[in-house]
Structures are given as structure tokens and as C-alpha cells.
Amino acid sequence: MSNELKRGLEGVLVAESDLSYIDGSVGKLVYRGYAIEDLAREASYEEVLYLLWHGELPTREELTEFEARLAEERHVDDDVLETIAVLAEADEEPMAALRTAVSMLSAYEPEPDADPEDLDATLRQGRRITAKIPTILAAFDRVRQGEEPIEPDESLSYAGNFLYMLTGVEPDAVAEETFDMALTLHADHGLNASTFTAMVIGSTMADIYSAVTGGIGALSGSLHGGANEDVMRTLREVDASSKDPLQWAKDAREEGRRIPGFGHRVYEVKDPRAVILEEKLRDLSASNGDDTWLEYTTTIESYLEDEGLTEKGIAPNVDFYSGSVYDHLGIPMDMFTPIFAMARAGGWIAHVLEYQEDNRLIRPRARYTGPQDAEFVPIDER
């Protein structure tokens, strides 16, 4: 057994995967061989889900059938909606509400006794969870605003239906396409922390509800998916301060602050998803006649680049640009990380299924640094 310690499991290979490949030195990302740029621009999120779950891009017929299967699972049981309302009224964080609601969904699973080794049944369960996450999130947001949840519309796309349930209005083509593209960009990313969490849970042959619930928990942290909200908080902080973004960035560096949305365990250059989202932000800023976030983000990015961060491999990641795009679509800031979860659930499910095809319990070890042979002292004598 190797005694080499890899803090944070950096660079450790724990599995083979056909799902996504990242070349961090050049900023390349592919899902099953397809460039993220092509999928983002050409494929719908449903096509990408099909690709991840079934191994290849669907034909038109396969896609229609797949979309229908997914759409018919959107309805969420009234008991779960009631719990969502209780959580919204208690001011629960949206990621925590989502975590609770997804866990609760298993009580209403139509195949509760499926054999954990029946991967087709696991996929059907995963499809149900994926279909219901938008319904949960939109209901949560509406209830906390004193509005009634809106029933899903099966005739709309996954992206379009979410925006419709959130706002009560069918989105225009630009909003729907932009949101759909954002979902594709977030669908999978190798063995990131939340995917690995889901895989660890899946490797015990626990059910897929447990794996997705665990993934949501891992994604919520500020070093992972939670960073997209921190970026928006930062942009608002700049806006509310008397400083221009350049001065803010200088001061933040001097104070030794970690800039949210910068840095990545795998990328040494700008994340290709950030490149695509920046383009989108430019389009939206122009069409909405408001380039505030664009100006702030690009100023901060250029300053940090000039300061040599990019040379050190600390460049913008996906979270640096996603929030500004969502903000242009009118989505509340604390829904940004839940939206990431909505997109990533597909990746979690794909990785759990792939791993379970040739499952082995994931169980690493720690180098023990505590005392040996301590003498036990009874409680009253301590």
C-alpha cells in the first residue's frame, strides 16, 4: 500500500469513466467525446441528458420519446409541495430545501422496492428525480413570494418549463435557449466533489435518492457550486461600494481575499464554460442595455490576469460568469446554486450508474496521526 498522502485526493485516479474529459492545461471539456462548445450551441439539455445516460446522442425519434418520458414525471406529490411550503415559510435556504425535498421524494417513488443492482430501475428513479427538481425549486420560490406554485407544462422543454413555473410566463426564445445552454454547461464535469460524493454513496449500493441528496449537499459549499452566488454577492458588493471595480479588485488582493469564481483543481487556464458564458453575458448585456456586471467581471478578470494569477493557473471558472447571466434572466440570486444542482443531477446519476456497472465500495484511508496506547481513565477520575 502506498503511503503517499494526496491532500484533497488531488490527481488520484479512482475510476474509469466514459462520461466527461477535461484537459485542464488547454481548457478543453468534452462529454462522451463531444466538445462542450458544440453541445452548448447545438444540443438541447434533454439531448445532453440522453447522451450522458444512454451513451450516444439520440435520433429525433428517441429524443421525442425521451422528452415525453421526462416531461410526464414533472408532477410532485402534494405532500412534498406542502413540505416545500413549510420550508419556504421558515426561510430555509433554497439548497437546503431542495436537499430535503429530494430526500422526501423517495417516499413517493413508484418502484420503492427495486433491486439496487437493477440499473434500469435506478435510471428510471434518477429520471424521476431529474424531472421533479425544477418543479420543487419553482414551487419553493413562488411560495416564499406569497404566490401559488404553478403546475408543470408538459408541452414545454425542460428549460422552458422551469422558467415558466418560476415566473408564470412562458419564456421568450432567448431566455429559454440561454437557460438551456447553461444547463448543458453544468451537466457534468468529471469527478468533481459533488459527483464523487454521489459516487461514494452509490458505491455502498444505497439508493439513487441518497446519492442525489448527498450530491446537493456537497454542491452547496462555497468552494464548489455555492461560488456562483458568492460571485454575484461580490458584484453587488462592488456596486454598493464607493469603489470602481478595479479599486475593489486591488483592495481585495491586498486584503488577501480569495476571489470567488477564480481557481480550479483541474483547469490551469480559463474554464471553457466561462468563455461561453462570457459571450452570452455580452449578448444579454447588449440586448438588455445594461453592462454593469459585464464591466465589473471583465475588469476584475483583467486586473487579476495582470497581477499574474492566470500565470499561476488561477483563472475564471464556470461560476464567475453564470450568475450574471442568470441575473439578466431575472432569476433570484439564491436560486443560482440550486439551478446548478438541477443541471448536475443528470451528471450525478450518470456517474453513479456507470460506477455501479462494475461496482467496488469506495473506501480510502487516512494516515493516522493520533496517539497510540493511551491509558483509559474512568470518567470520574479525569
Ligand X SMILES: O=C([O-])CC(=O)C(=O)O
**Residues found near ligand X in the complex (CB under 6 A):** 189-190, 192, 264-266, 317-318
Q: How far apart are CA 72 and CA 79, in angstroms?
A: 19
Q: Is 186 a catalytic residue?
A: no
**Site of grid cell 480550479:** 264
273 binds ligand ACO per the rule CB under 6 A: no
Handedness of CA 232, 234, 237, 243 (dihedral sign): negative
Which residues are bridge partners to 29 per DSSP?
Answer: 22
Residue 4 sits at φ, ψ, to 5 deg, of: -70, 130
Query: Of 32, 74, 128, 264, which lies in the binding site for ligand ACO, with binding defined by CB under 6 A?
Result: 264
163 binds ligand ACO per the rule CB under 6 A: no
Select from 325, 353, 71, 94 the least CA-distant residue to 203. 353
Neighbouring CB atoms inside 10 A of 289's CB total 6
The nearer residue to ligand X, 74 or 280, going by C-beta atoms, is: 280
Please state the closest distance from residue 185 (CB atom) to ligand X, in A. Answer: 9
- Region near ligand ACO per CB under 6 A, out of 24-32, 42-50, 80-88, 253-261: 253-261
6 binds ligand ACO per the rule CB under 6 A: no
- Region near ligand ACO per CB under 6 A, out of 122-130, 136-144, 261-269, 329-337: 261-269
Q: Which of 186, 189, 264, 328 is catalytic?
A: 264
Kind of pairing, strands 20-23 and 28-31? antiparallel
The nearer residue to ligand X, 162 or 196, going by C-beta atoms, is: 196
Select from 29, 32, 21 the least CA-distant residue to 56. 32
DSSP single-letter state for residue 187: S
Query: Of 4, 5, 8, 308, which lies in the binding site for ligand ACO, with binding defined by CB under 6 A?
Result: 8
Q: How far apart are CA 305 and CA 110, in angstroms?
A: 52
Residue 176: which residues within 8 A CB-CB, separation 6 or more?
157, 159, 160, 163
Which of ligand ACO, ligand X, none lies near 144, with the C-beta cut-off 5 to 8 A by kind?
A: none
Q: Is 328 a catalytic residue?
A: no
Please state the closest distance from residue 271 (CB atom) to ligand X, in A. Answer: 7
The nearer residue to ligand X, 234 or 285, going by C-beta atoms, is: 234
263 binds ligand ACO per the rule CB under 6 A: yes
- Region near ligand ACO per CB under 6 A, out of 21-29, 61-69, 276-284, 312-320: 312-320
Q: How far apart are CA 14 and CA 307, in angstroms?
A: 36
Please state the closest distance from residue 45 (CB atom) to ligand X, in A. Answer: 15
Greatest CA separation for the chain = 75
Neighbouring CB atoms inside 10 A of 264's CB total 23
Please state the closest distance from residue 329 (CB atom) to ligand ACO, in A. Answer: 19
Query: Of 265, 269, 299, 362, which lies in the binding site for ligand ACO, with binding defined by CB under 6 A?
Result: 265
Please state the closest distance from residue 188 (CB atom) to ligand X, in A. Answer: 8
Select from 219, 314, 299 the least CA-distant residue to 258. 314
Active site residues: 264, 319
Interface residues with ligand ACO (CB under 6 A) are: 8, 223-225, 227, 258-265, 314, 317-319
